[in-house]
C-alpha cells in the first residue's frame, strides 16, 4: 500500500490539527496543575493552622487550670483580708470610692478655709475688745486702789472723804460686773 501525495498532505493537515489540539490540552493541563498546586498549598497551610488551633484548644483546659492554681496561690499570699470590705474592692470600685473621698476632702478643705477666716475675724474683734478694755481695767485698778484708800480714810475719819469714795467704789463695782458680763457674752 502506497500513500499518495494528496493523502499525505491530508494526513499532514490532520496531524497539525491533532498536534495543535494536543498542545492546547497540554497548556490547559499545565494551568490546571498550577491551580491544583496553589489550592494544595493553601489547603495544606489551612490544615496546619487548623491542627495548631486544635492543639491549642486541647491544651486550653490544662492552661486554664494552671492559671487558676496560680491565681489561688497569689490570693493566698496576698495580705490578709481586712474586716473593712472597702479595702478589698476591685479597681473600678476603688477608683470611684477614691474620687468620692477626694470630693469630701475638698468640701472639708473649703469649710476649713471659711472657719479659719471666721476665726481670724473673731480674733481681730477679740483683740479690739481687749484693747478697749485695757483703759477700763486700768480705771478699775485705780478705782479699787482709791476705794481701798477711801476705806482707810473712812476708818480713820480723815477729811470726811469716805462717803464720796464709797460711791465711786460702788460705781466701779457696777462697771466691773457689767464688763465681766460683756466679756462672757463675747467669749
What HEC string does 14-76 produce?
A: HHHHHHHHHHHHHHHHHHHHHHHHHHHHHHHHHHHHHHHHHHHHHHHHHHHHHHHHHHHHHHH
Neighbouring residues of 103: CB distance < 8 A, sequence distance ≥ 6:
none
Q: How many CB atoms lie within 10 A of CB 143?
A: 19
Splitting the chain (187 residues) into consecutive groups of 10 residues, what average pLDDT does each group show? 80 92 94 95 94 92 91 78 72 88 94 91 86 82 82 64 69 84 70
Q: Which three cell numbers stand for residue 176?
A: 466691773
Specify the pTM: 0.34
**8 Å CB contact between 175 and 183:** no
For 110, list phi and psi in degrees, rounded to 5. Answer: -65, -45
Burial class (CB in 10 A: 0-12, 13-18, 19+), 173: middle
For 160, list phi and psi in degrees, rounded to 5. Answer: 65, 25
pLDDT for the residue 159 = 55
Cα 137 to Cα 80: distance, rounded to the nearest angstrom: 65
Cα 35 to Cα 33: distance, rounded to the nearest angstrom: 5
Amino acid at each position: 500500500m502506497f500513500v499518495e501525495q494528496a493523502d499525505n498532505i491530508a494526513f499532514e493537515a490532520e496531524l497539525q490539527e491533532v498536534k495543535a489540539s494536543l498542545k492546547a490540552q497540554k497548556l490547559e493541563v499545565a494551568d490546571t496543575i498550577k491551580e491544583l498546586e496553589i489550592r494544595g498549598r493553601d489547603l495544606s497551610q489551612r490544615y496546619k493552622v487548623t491542627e495548631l488551633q486544635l492543639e491549642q484548644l486541647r491544651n486550653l483546659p490544662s492552661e486554664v487550670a494552671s492559671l487558676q492554681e496560680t491565681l489561688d496561690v497569689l490570693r493566698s499570699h496576698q495580705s490578709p483580708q481586712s474586716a473593712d470590705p472597702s479595702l478589698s474592692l476591685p479597681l473600678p470600685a476603688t477608683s470611684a470610692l477614691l474620687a468620692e473621698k477626694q470630693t469630701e476632702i475638698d468640701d472639708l478643705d473649703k469649710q476649713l478655709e471659711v472657719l479659719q477666716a471666721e476665726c481670724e475675724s473673731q480674733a481681730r474683734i477679740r483683740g479690739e475688745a481687749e484693747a478697749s478694755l485695757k483703759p477700763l481695767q486700768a480705771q478699775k485698778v485705780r478705782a479699787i486702789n482709791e476705794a481701798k484708800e477711801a476705806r482707810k480714810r473712812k476708818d480713820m475719819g480723815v477729811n470726811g472723804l469716805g462717803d464720796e469714795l464709797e460711791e465711786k467704789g460702788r460705781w466701779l463695782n457696777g462697771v466691773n460686773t457689767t464688763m465681766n458680763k460683756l466679756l462672757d457674752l463675747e467669749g
